[in-house]
Structure 1
Amino acid sequence: MNQLPTSDNPVTMSTREIAALTGKQHKDVIRDVRVMREALAKDGADLRHLLEHKDARGYTAEFLLDRPLTETLLTGYSIPLRHRVILRLAELEQRTAPPSIPRTLPEALRLAADLAEQNNRLQVAVSEQAPKVEALARIAEAGGSMCLTDAAKHLGVQRCRLIEWMRANRWIYRREGSMRLLAYQPRLAAGLLDHKVSIIGREDDGAERLASQVRVTAKGLALLAQKMGAPRSAAHENVARNEGSQHGR
């Protein structure tokens, strides 16, 4: 359950966000807060809602200010900068505002109708996603593996995009000075990838020359389809074609 804002739990804004909204350096905003804190403390102001977070070295990482302190800080800034931050404060408060409680029977009926409509939309979305989820589950349960080119075709993406994504997300890598792709050990252990070792020749001393090729397992293909947002016409329709051929036998 979301905690509703109260006087003991006000909406706060960090100095980092104030810096981003105003275009100021965060260190300068921190300085301004310290100047404000010193002046208010001398005046006897209540500063319980001024929270200071420090990093592991003991330096100030950020301050968290409630609305009054935020607006006090902004009095020294230009009108456009004040306007940006105040709009952001209003947005934060709107997000955490408690839901309105129906006070009349028509309002209660309208709320019930709205909730029923939202529930229907969720049920429709679940029904639409169910075949896709089921298809991915069947892919994951299948056996065998395929090369990266075939995996890209099943996913409906270009081979270079698949390789780029897999390298960026630590599925595969290249050793320095080599163009051959290798699978990271955690991906092998998880059954997402495997290596196919082939004999490509022999050395002068007669020893076999071996080459290893990264291959995507069925389980890996299913996960890639989810992670990369592969279109339905790729992995899902491949399952459908396989099922159709089986029914036609």
Structure 2
Amino acid sequence: MSSREIAELTGKRHDHVMRDTRKMLVELHGEEALPKFGGSYTGQDNTARPCFNLPKRESLILVSGYDVHMRAAIIDRWQLLEDRRSPEAMLNDKSVLRALLLENVEKVIALETRVASDAPKVAFADQVSAAPDAISISQAAKTLGTGRTRLAAFLRQKGWLTRTNEPYQDKINSGLLDVKIGSWEHPEKGLQRSVTALVTGKGLAKLHQLFTAH
């Protein structure tokens, strides 16, 4: 409760309430440990003026030295403030119910919008997770709606593939790519190793995000 409201309820001058509040806080806490109850308000001349914003305990202690009518006014005001925050009072207040209903409707609309926007991503991830094996870059490109050459260039640019289209080890370790090791007979060089990069389900889901953003 602000010192201005206390002044209005008790009929005392605000500067007198401020004086009484300072004295009370010094007596309660001492000069070195005063709590930070200070605030400000805009006066009629549009200038900032000081006030106090007191919790219930300090408000009641302050008015304990006032006459019974002043104390009753402050206690009644605190009772009203607390009743407004109680569930029973809120259920009986139509304006509060309307505000709560509007707030929940807005949350539901926002959630439905997010679910709708995420649905294609979720469906894509589910489809990829269901794939039993890793797929070739050509198959991945077809799934992503692009060409193999373009996807391979994109993977090299992003640091997934080397210049010879072999997967980097960190991408294999992270489960984004895999390899198929094969061999073939060169007419002059003899037996040669072949490394074919494969895109895993996890990698395809990640590529879907990166490639779409690109």
**Taking structure 2 as the reference length, what is the TM-score of the superposition?**
0.46
Instruction: Point out the structure with max Rg over C-alpha.
Output: 2
Higher RCO (C-alpha under 8 Å, 6+ residues apart)? 1
Which has the larger share of helix?
2
**Taking structure 1 as the reference length, what is the TM-score of the superposition?**
0.40
